[in-house]
Chains A and B, each alone.
Chain A
Amino acid sequence: MALATHGTTTGALYVYGFVRGGALKRFRQEGVDGADVTVVEGEGIAAIVSPVRTTDMKMKRRDLHRHLGVIESAFESTTVIPCAFGTIVESSAELEDGVLIGARDDLLDGFARLDGKVQMNVKATYDEEKLLREILASDPQVAALRERTRGAGEAGYYDRIRLGEIVAARVEERTEADTARLADALAAHAVDVTLEGPGRGVALRGSFLVARKSLARFESALEALARAERPLLRFEAIGPLPPTAFAASSVNSRG
């Protein structure tokens, strides 16, 4: 197939994701490295691609936005299986034989699984001062050590380490319990969940796959949860997004 290219081209293609054949033809979005975005179709499936102009293409920060922008624009009108950032195939022939034909059944299963679903990313972070105050108030050992180390200067060095160890352990326990509780509350309105590993000060960071018809319920649950958890926790929600966190399990789950 003919690709709109300018300058020299390697024949290699940057792949953004997959949609059902015929769903999309043209993209206004600029692709990675400023290239034009188009589709390679075969067997009822279309790969969203753009030409790779040089073998040592330098990706820039804006290419992250372009990658997501292309996927988001496809997601506006159809079901899309997003590819991992930075996926490049040797040629359109390899893409057709290897993926459009070779992975056809898996991709079709993926579309069916993701049809009518959106991804909501939710993050809840602690107000650290409030969290530490709660721990201090609820743990006499922490309070005692704090008293002992205050004003002790260098003499209190080992007590300070001990204090830090205990506080860190309490924070970890607390976070673990909160993560499970918050994730459960939202998972009740989702069809799938992927949670990110713990991060400092983070009670919840995860992606929820939500049916469009349940989106209003998910959002009210989120609103209610965030209101109930204030002021210790502050929530951020991004979406509806294309299902980037759920694409992998739609075909080859290797995790």
Chain B
Amino acid sequence: MAVATRGTSSNYLQRAPSPSGLADVLDVILDKGLVIDAYVRVSVIGIEVVTIDARIVIASVDTYLRFAEAVNRLDLQQTERAGIEELRGGGKKDETKGVIEGAKEKVTPGRGNSRKERSR
């Protein structure tokens, strides 16, 4: 990942004024920001990005080991790909499920803990 460095960048602290890679951009904007549907009808576009929830992972050494390998490859690739080809009415649940063995969490922008309804 290319990170614009500045100031005190070192091998133990990497600095960037702004996110450049997709994963970092997702970190900053996905599931973040004001949700205004308490005030007005909104349609939040249903982009669903698969992320990996390591808490579910550790069912057995077998899955742990397989997952360890998979995560290293998947973590970014998966995000890049899921990264945003699919949209609206989102729900490619089944396609991705097998890939990361159910250890995933769906993230819908702005709807972290709220209901998943969409207007219109």
Binding site for B on A (CB under 8 A): 15, 17-18, 56-61, 63-65, 67-68, 72, 81-90, 94-95, 97-99, 102-103, 110, 121, 160-165, 168, 172, 196-201, 205, 219, 222-223, 226-227, 229-231, 233-241, 244-245, 247-248, 250-252, 254-255
A162 to B19, CA, bound (A): 40
Find out whether the CB atom of B34 lies under 8 angstroms from the CB atom of A237: no
Find out whether the CB atom of B61 lies under 8 angstroms from the CB atom of A163: yes
Against A, the Cβ 8 Å flags (1 = close, 0 = not) of B31-46 are: 1111110111111111
Least CB distance from B14 to A in Å reads: 5
Least CB distance from A133 to B in Å reads: 16
Against A, the Cβ 8 Å flags (1 = close, 0 = not) of B20-37 are: 001011111111111110
Find out whether the CB atom of A84 lies under 8 angstroms from the CB atom of B58: no
**Chain A residue nearest to B108 in the complex (CB):** A86
Contact of B36 among A83, A198, A238, A245 (CB under 8 A): A83
Contact of B47 among A59, A90, A200, A201 (CB under 8 A): A59
Which chain A residues border B40 with CB–CB below 8 Å? 89-90, 94-95, 97-99, 102
Find out whether the CB atom of B34 lies under 8 angstroms from the CB atom of A89: no
**Chain B residue nearest to A60 in the complex (CB):** B84
Q: A244 with B18: in contact, given A84-B44, A89-B42, A199-B52 (CB under 8 Å)?
A: no
Against A, the Cβ 8 Å flags (1 = close, 0 = not) of B85-100 are: 1011000000000000
Find out whether the CB atom of A63 lies under 8 angstroms from the CB atom of B19: no
Interface range on chain B (Cβ under 8 Å from partner): 35 or more
Chain B interface main SS type: loop
Find out whether the CB atom of A87 lies under 8 angstroms from the CB atom of B14: no
Say if the beta carbon of B102 comes within 8 Å of chain A: no
Least CB distance from A70 to B in Å reads: 11
| Apart from the given pairs A97-B40, A121-B24, A248-B34, 9 other A-B contacts in the complex at a CB distance below 8 Å | A63-B84, A64-B25, A82-B33, A86-B45, A87-B44, A161-B62, A219-B7, A235-B14, A244-B29
Which chain A residues border B43 with CB–CB below 8 Å? 88
Which chain A residues border B39 with CB–CB below 8 Å? 98-99, 102-103
Find out whether the CB atom of A87 lies under 8 angstroms from the CB atom of B36: yes
Least CB distance from A195 to B in Å reads: 13
A selection of 15 A-B contacts at a CB cut-off of 8 Å is: A56-B88, A61-B84, A63-B84, A85-B30, A94-B41, A98-B40, A102-B39, A164-B61, A200-B57, A235-B12, A237-B14, A237-B15, A238-B15, A238-B18, A248-B32
Contact of B29 among A64, A81, A88, A240 (CB under 8 A): A64
Least CB distance from A236 to B in Å reads: 5
Contact of A85 among B11, B15, B47, B55 (CB under 8 A): B47
Find out whether the CB atom of B13 lies under 8 angstroms from the CB atom of A85: no
Say if the beta carbon of B71 comes within 8 Å of chain A: yes
Least CB distance from A119 to B in Å reads: 8
**Chain B residue nearest to A12 in the complex (CB):** B43
Find out whether the CB atom of A84 lies under 8 angstroms from the CB atom of B114: no
Q: A245 with B22: in contact, given A161-B61, A200-B71 (CB under 8 Å)?
A: no
